[in-house]
Amino acid sequence: MNPTHTFDVLVIGAGAAGLMAAIEAGRRGRRVALLERADRPGKKILISGGGRCNFTNLHCRPENFLSANPHFAKSALARYTPADFIALVERHGICYHEKTLGQLFCDGPADQIVNLLLTECAAANVRIVLGADIRAVRRDDTFEVTTQNSIYRAPAVIIATGGLSIPKIGATGFGYDIARQFNIPIREPRPALVPLILTGAEHANFADLTGISAPVTVTCLKRTFREKMLFTHRGLSGPAILQISSYWNAPPPAPNISDPIIIDWAPNQNILAPLLQSAAGRNGNTAKVALRAHLPARLADRLVDVAAPTSFTNHALADLERRLHAWPFAPTGTEGYEKAEVTAGGVSTDALSAQTMECRNVPGLYFIGEVVDVTGHLGGFNFQWAWASGAAAGRAV
Ligand code: FDA
C-alpha cells in the first residue's frame, strides 16, 4: 500500500509558474507539495534567454499577449508586475541589465533565477518532489494524485505543466489531458515564437543566405514588429519572425491559404532615391548599391536580382521601391514544437477565473502559466505571465 500524504495544495509542474504559485501559497501558511516529473526543477528557465534568462520586460502590457480573450490576463498582470519580480531579483542580489526594448536579463547564468525560486520555496516550507510520475488525478470530496510510489491528497490542485514546446527537455500534454478529464475546453495548441519554413522558389532564392540578418519590419494579419530577421537553411527566423509566427499561426481566413508575411527591408527610407538623380545610372548595379546602404550586401544584391525590372523607368523604379517595402513571403509551415519557444492556445480562459485561475466548474482546480491560452510576445513576457498567473493562484488557494 502506497503511503498517503495530505497537503493544503498540490502544485503539478515545477517550472516558472508552478514555483511561483508554490511560493505564494507557502508564504500564506499553506502546506504545499510541488510535484515535478523531471529530475530537477526549472529546466526551461535554465535554457531561457540564451542561458541568461530574460526574466521580465519593463514594458509589459496586456497588448503583449495573445489569447482568445485579450482581457483575461489583465487582472493577474496588474496584481503581479515586473516591478514585483525585479524587487525579488534585487533582494537576492542578482545583477541584471536591460538588453533592448525593456528586456531584462541576468548578468550571470540563468540558474540564479532557479536558485532564487528554490530559496523562496524553502523559506515557504514547500515540499518539492522530483521524479514524480503521476499516474492518476481523481476528485471526490478532495483531490487525490497518485504517483508511482505515493498518494497525495489536497483540496486544491494547481496544474502548471506548461505546453508542448521542446519535448526533449520534458514537455508533456499532461495539462491538456487533465483539462479534458474535467471537461474543460481547450483552444487548439500550436507552436509559437517559432522559425518559419520556406519551400519552392522562395527557398531556392534565399537558402544560401543562411546566417545573414537584417533589421526589418514584418507584418501579418495587421500585426507589425520592428526587429531583426535571420535567414536559416530552412527559411526565416530571428526575433521579427519569431514574433510574427505567433500571429501567422493563427487559423487562416480560408482553408489552405497561408497568410503572407510582409517584409519592409528599409522602413521609412527612400531606397532608390539616388537612382532618380539625373547623374546616376539606372540599372541593376546602381539599384544594388542603393540597397546596400540599408542591408548586408549579399542580401541587397539578391533582392535586386529577384525583383529587378527589365527597364528602369520612373514607373518601374516606383514599383521596385514599393516591392522593397512590402516583400511578401508565403511560409509553408513552422519548425514545430522542437524549435518553438512557447505553445499558443491551451486551456480556454472561458473556463477560468481571471482573478484566481480557478476553474469555474471544478472548484479547487487551477491552471497557470503556459498551459493556459495566454501567450506572450518574445522578450520576457512569457515569464511575466508565469509569475503573474502563478501568484494569482498561489494567493487564492
Ligand atoms: P514550464 O514548461 O516552464 O514548466 C512546466 C513544468 O512541468 C516542467 O518542469 C515540466 O517538467 C513539468 N511537467 C510537465 N509534465 C509533467 C507531469 N506530467 N508531471 C509533473 N510535472 C510535469 N520566456 C521568457 O519570458 N523569457 C525568455 O528568455 C525565454 N526563453 C526561452 C527559451 C527557450 C529555448 C524556450 C523553450 C522558452 C523560453 N521562454 C522564455 C518561454 C518560457 O520558458 C515559458 O513560457 C515558461 O517557462 C512557461 O512556464 P511554465 O511554468 O508554465 O511551464
Domains 4-191+340-396 and 196-334 share a fold: no
Out of 10, 23, 48, mutate this one to test ligand 1's pocket (max ligand atoms within 8 Å of CB): namely: 48
CATH architecture of 196-334: Beta Barrel (2.40)
Residues of the chain with pLDDT under 50: 250-251
User: pLDDT value at position 308?
Assistant: 82
Quick check: CB of 259 below 6 Å from ligand 1? no
Per-residue pLDDT tens over the stretch 125-168: 999 999 999 999 999 999 999 999 999 999 999 999 999 999 99
User: pLDDT value at position 277?
Assistant: 80
User: pLDDT value at position 251?
Assistant: 44
Q: What is the mean pLDDT of the chain?
A: 95
User: pLDDT value at position 180?
Assistant: 98
Out of 53, 176, 177, 382, mutate this one to test ligand 1's pocket (max ligand atoms within 8 Å of CB): namely: 382
Quick check: CB of 232 below 6 Å from ligand 1? no
Cell matching residue 62: 496586456
Cell matching residue 116: 532564487
CATH 3.40.1370.10 is held by the domain 4-191+340-396 = no
The structure's pTM equals 0.96
Cell matching residue 267: 522602413
Spatial distance between the Cα atoms of 335 and 5, rounded to a whole number of angstroms: 42
Quick check: CB of 134 below 6 Å from ligand 1? yes
User: pLDDT value at position 256?
Assistant: 55
Quick check: CB of 382 below 6 Å from ligand 1? yes
User: pLDDT value at position 73?
Assistant: 98
The domain spans of the chain are 4-191+340-396, 196-334
Cell matching residue 306: 529577384
